Amino acid sequence: MLRIIHYVNQFFGQIGGEDKAGAEPVVREGAVGPGMLIDQLLAGQGKQGRVVATLICGDNYFTEKTERAAEELIRLIDGTPFDVFIAGPAFNAGRYGIACGEMCKQVKEKFGVPVITGMFHENPGADLYKRHVHIIATTGNAAGMSQAMPKMIQLVLKMFRGEPVGRPEDEGYIPQGVRANILSDRLASERAIELLLRKMRGEEVPTEIPFPSLDVVPAAPPVLSLAGVTIAIVTEGALVPIGNPDGIESARATRFATYSVAELEKLGPEKFQSIHRGFDTTLINEDPNRLVPADALRELEREGVFGKLHDDFYVTAGVATTMENARKIGQGIASRLKKAGVAAAILTST
Amino acid sequence: MNLEMRYFDVSDIQFGSKTSYGGGCLFINREELIALISEDKRLRHVDMELANPGEKTRITNILDILEPRINLEHRDYFPGMLGAIRRAGEGTTNVLCGAAVFEIGSMQGLCGALVDMSGPGAGFTPHSRTHNVCLLTEPSAGLQTVEYGLALKAAGLKASVYLARATLGAAPSGMEGFNLDLPRRDLGNLPRVGYLMQLHSHGDSREPFVYGDNTRRYYPTILHPNEIIDGAIVCGHYNISTAIKNSTYTILNHPVVLGLHRRHGRELNFKGVVISPEPTSLVEIRRTSMMAAGLLKHVLQVDGVIITKEGGGHTDVDLMENCEACEALGIKTVIIDNEWLGPDGSGELPLLAISPRADVMVSVGNVDGMINLSAMEKIVGGTFMHDLGGDLQQSLHIPLRFIPNAISQAGFTHLTTEGR
C-alpha cells in the first residue's frame, strides 16, 4: 500500500486563518482537510494507499523563516516510512505556493521519492519551482480542489510506478520550460524528408527546434593609440599550468582562471599545457606561446609599440559551453580587465 | 548508375573452424581473422569477442562501427581506403545484414562509445540489435593517437571485407536495386530534391575519408547517392564524441540518402548529393557554402535540400551559411541538428550562428540528456573509459552522447526533444 505524506498550511490544516499564519510546524497522524480527499480518491481505486501523516505549517512561519521551517518539517517526518509526498494544492495563495514548492523540492532531494503539488499558474511559487518539481495547474481558488487533486494523484502515481511523465497538456502540469529527450515513432531523417516536401508545396511547416534569439554585443570603440596602453591576453584555448590546478573543465566549462606572465619572457611547455577537448593540442603543447603569444607581445612591449603586457592572462575552455556559462565567464573576465585598467585585450580562439 | 545490394540476413554469429555463412548464421574462424588483423605491426595485441542481441553484455571503448560488405565483381570494398580506386555505387554488393564490426581500443585522447546489448540503454541504439564482432586491439609501444586511429581503421575495414567474403556463393535473403535513371515521364513534375551532406574536416582523427583522402582536402563536390551507401565515405574520427560523428555503418545505411532514394520516382525526384567539407575559418566556410549551393542550384537543379552537419558547435556556422546560400538561390531547406541543453534540458541552445532564412530544424535530441544503465554480466572492451569514471560493469548514470546513434546528426535515430 502506498504511504503518502501530505503538506498543508494552517488554513487547510484546520488550525486557523490569517491570525494563525505564524503557526509552527506540526505533524498529525493520518489525513487532515484535503488529505481526506486523497484517501477517498485512492480508496476509489481499490485501496491503493492512504495519507499516513500530514505536515502543517503557518504560511508566515514558512516564508519568514524558510530554511528553519523546512528543516523542522523534514525532521518531523524523518524516520516515518513513506512512498510519495503531496503538497497543497495552493491555488493562488502566494506564501502557501512557495511553501509547497520548497517542501516538494527538499523532500525530493532528501528522500528521493516522487513529489507533486498544485497551483494557479500565476502563483509566484509556480515560476520559482516549476523547473524543480511537477506542479499541476489549478484554478485560482479552492473551488477547483476536486479537479486538481485527482490529477495530482494520477501523476504522482505514474512517477511512483516509474512510468515516464508525458506532455504538460496531457498530464495537466505547468510547463517546466525544459526540453526533454523523447523517442519519436519515426526516424529523424524521415521527419526531415516529410517536412521538406511539405515546405516545397508551400505549406507553413513547424520547426522542431525553436530558434534562439542571438545576443549581439556591440564592439567597443577602437584604441586610437597604443602608447602607454596595457594589453591583456584572453584565450578560450584552455592553456593551464601543468596539472590544471584550478580544475578548468576540458569541455563545457563553467569557469575561468588567471595565470601570471609577470617577469616571464615566454611560456614554456614544461610549465603550461592545453587541456582543451575541441582541437588537436599537440602543437600548442610543444609551444604554448602559439596560443598565448607572450613571447611576441614581450618583444613589442620592449620596442615600445604599446605600454605594458598585463601581468595575468585569462583562460577558459571554449568548447560546447552553455550560453548561461559563456555569458557568466565573459562578463566576469571583462569586469576584471576593466578594474585592472586594461585598455585592450587580444582574444585567441581555437 | 546501377547498384544491386544483395542482403544476407544474419540471425546468429558463432566462432567456427571455417569462416562461412549459411542458414542465417555467420561462422567465424577466430584465429584466421585475428591473424589477418595482427599483420599490422602498429597493433601489439589483437583479440576478438562476439556480442549478440539480448545478452547482458556491455561493449565499451568503441571507436567505429562498420557493416561487413564486399563488391562481387571486384572482390573488395571501401575503394581508395582498402581496395584500389574505383567508383563505388555500381555493380553488385553483398551485405551481411544484421552483423556489425566494432573497432575497439583505448588511449588517452580517443573518444570511445558504449553499447548495451540489453537493458534500458539498448533501446537507444540500433547496435543492440546487430550481431557484433568486436575487434579488441592494443597499440604498439609509442604509437601516437593518429596512427593508432589509422591502424584501427585498417583493422575494421579488413575484418568487414573478410567476413563478407563468406557470402560469396551463398543465396541472398533479399535484393534491392538502386538506380535513379528513370524515364523522364516517370519523374514528371515531382519535386526535385537534393541532399547537402557536411563532412567534418578539422584535421587528422577528426574527419572522414572520401575515396581514401581526408575531407579537408576537398571542395564541395557532387556524389551519386549510390556512392555514399556503397563505401565511398568511411568514418575517420577517433577523437571526437560518438554523438557528433557518423560511423561507417551509419554512412553505409545513410537514412537521408536511403529515404530519398526509396521515394525517387514516386514522391520526389532525387537529383543527387553534394558533399561539403567544414573548414575552420569563416572565409573558407563562405567559399564552400557558395560553391555547394551553386552545385545544387545550377548543376543538380534542385528546389529543395536537406542539410546535415557533422561535428560540434563550430559546424553550426557551416550549417547556417549553407542554409543561407541555398535559400538565397531559392532552394528550400530543412536542417537536421542536435541540441545542447544541459542534463535537465533547461539550457538555452548555444547556436553559434543563425541564418535569418533558416526556418525548419529537425531535432535529433539533447546531447547532454542523461540515461540510467543497469549493471551488466559481461564487459567487452574493458571496464574503464577515459571519459567515464567508475567501473563500467556496474549500473551507470551517463550522458546519452556515449551511445552510438542515440544522437545521430545523419538522422539515424528516433530521438528528438519535446517541450515539458
- What pLDDT score was predicted for residue B186? 84
Q: Tell me which residue of B85, B77, B327 sits closest to B196, measured CA to CA.
A: B327
| Residue among B268, B341, B410 whose CB faces A179 most closely | B341
Cβ atoms of B186 and B265 within 8 Å: the answer is yes
Written as nine digits, the cell of A173 is 502540469
Interface of A with B in 151-180 (CB under 8 A): 165, 167-168, 175-180
Q: Where are the domains of chain B?
A: 3-402
Residues of chain B with pLDDT under 70: none
Average pLDDT, consecutive stretches of 10 residues, N- to C-terminus, chain A (350 residues): 95 95 96 95 79 96 95 94 97 97 97 97 95 95 95 96 91 94 96 98 95 81 93 96 93 93 94 90 94 96 96 93 87 96 92
Task: Please name the amino acid found at residue B228.
Answer: I
Total CB pairs under 8 A between chain A and B: 183
C-alpha cell at A124: 509566484
pLDDT for the residue numbered A47: 64
Write out the three cell numbers for A11: 488554513
Interface of B with A in 124-183 (CB under 8 A): none
Give the Cα separation of A13 and A35 in Å (integer). Answer: 9
d(CA A106, CA A86): 12
Separation between Cα atoms, residue B71 and residue A339, nearest integer Å: 67
User: Could you identify the residue written with the cell 553550426?
Assistant: B316
CA nearest to B367, candidates B320, B309, B318 = B309
User: Closest-CA residue in chain B for A178?
Assistant: B346
CA A345 vs CA A108, A289, B39: distances in Å: 46, 16, 54
Q: What is the ipTM of this complex?
A: 0.97
Question: Rounded CA gap, B337 and B319, in Å?
Answer: 9
Give the C-alpha separation, A212 to A19, whole Å.
48
Cα atoms in the 13 Å half-sphere on the side-chain side of B207: 26
* Residue A198 touches chain B, beta carbons under 8 Å: no
A185 to B414: CB separation less than 8 angstroms, yes or no: yes
CB–CB contact B418 A167 (8 Å): yes
CA dist., res. B84 & res. B80, Å (int): 5
Q: CA dihedral defined by A22, A24, A25, A29, rounded to 10 degrees?
A: -100
Q: Does A74 touch chain B (CB under 8 A)?
A: no
Task: Determine the Cα angle at A115 with ends A111 and A117, to 5°.
Answer: 145
Q: Determine the residue of chain A that is closest to B268 in CA distance.
A: A197
Nine-digit cell at A107? 523532500
CA atoms of B77 and B83, how far apart (whole Å): 6
User: Looking at the complex, does the CB of residue B314 fall below 8 Å from at least one CB of chain A?
Assistant: yes
> CB distance B362–A181 less than 8 Å?
no
In sequence order, what E strands does B37-158 have?
Answer: 43-51, 57-66, 69-71, 91-97, 99-104, 113-116, 131-139
Determine the Cα–Cα distance for residues A23 and A152; give it in Å rounded to an integer: 26
pLDDT at A25: 97
Domain ranges across chain A: 2-171, 230-348
C-alpha cell read off for B150? 589509422
Q: Compute the distance between CA of residue B171 and CA of residue A317 in angstroms, rounded to an integer.
A: 55
Task: Give B415's contacts in chain A (Cβ within 8 Å).
Answer: 181-184, 188
Q: How far is A107 from chain B (nearest CA, A)?
A: 19
Distance from CA of A264 to the nearest CA of B (A): 30
Quick check: A135 contacting B, CB < 8 Å? no
B359 touches chain A (CB under 8 A): yes
CB of B299 less than 8 A from some CB of A = no
Among B152, B153, B69, B64, which Cα is nearest to B113's? B64
Question: Which 8-state DSSP code applies to residue B177?
Answer: E
Residues in A closer than 8 angstroms to B268, CB to CB, are 197
Name the residue facing A193 among B263, B332, B419 (closest C-beta): B263
Q: Which residues, 6+ apart, have CB-to-CB distance to A163 below 8 Å? A: none
Length of chain A equals: 350
How far, in Å, CA of A38 to CA of A151, rounded? Answer: 11
| Cβ–Cβ < 8 Å for A284, A349 | no
* A339 interface with B at CB cutoff 8 Å: no
pLDDT, position A45: 63
Q: Is A195 on the interface with B (CB under 8 A)?
A: yes
Q: Give the gap in angstroms from C-alpha A277 to the nearest C-alpha of chain B.
A: 9
pLDDT on residue B153: 98
Identify all chain B residues contacting A195, using CB atoms and an 8 Å cutoff: 334, 360, 362
Which cell numbers in the block locate residue A307? 605600454
CB of A89 within 8 A of CB of A149? yes
In this structure, CATH architecture of domain A2-171: 3-Layer(aba) Sandwich (3.40)
Shortest Cα distance, chain A CAs vs residue B188, angstroms: 16
Q: Grid coordinates representing A153?
A: 494523484
Could you read off the pLDDT of B9-22 as tens digits, one per residue?
999 999 999 999 99
Residue B412 has its nearest CB partner, among A178, A189, A323, at: A189
- The values of phi and psi at residue B192, to 5°, are -90, 115
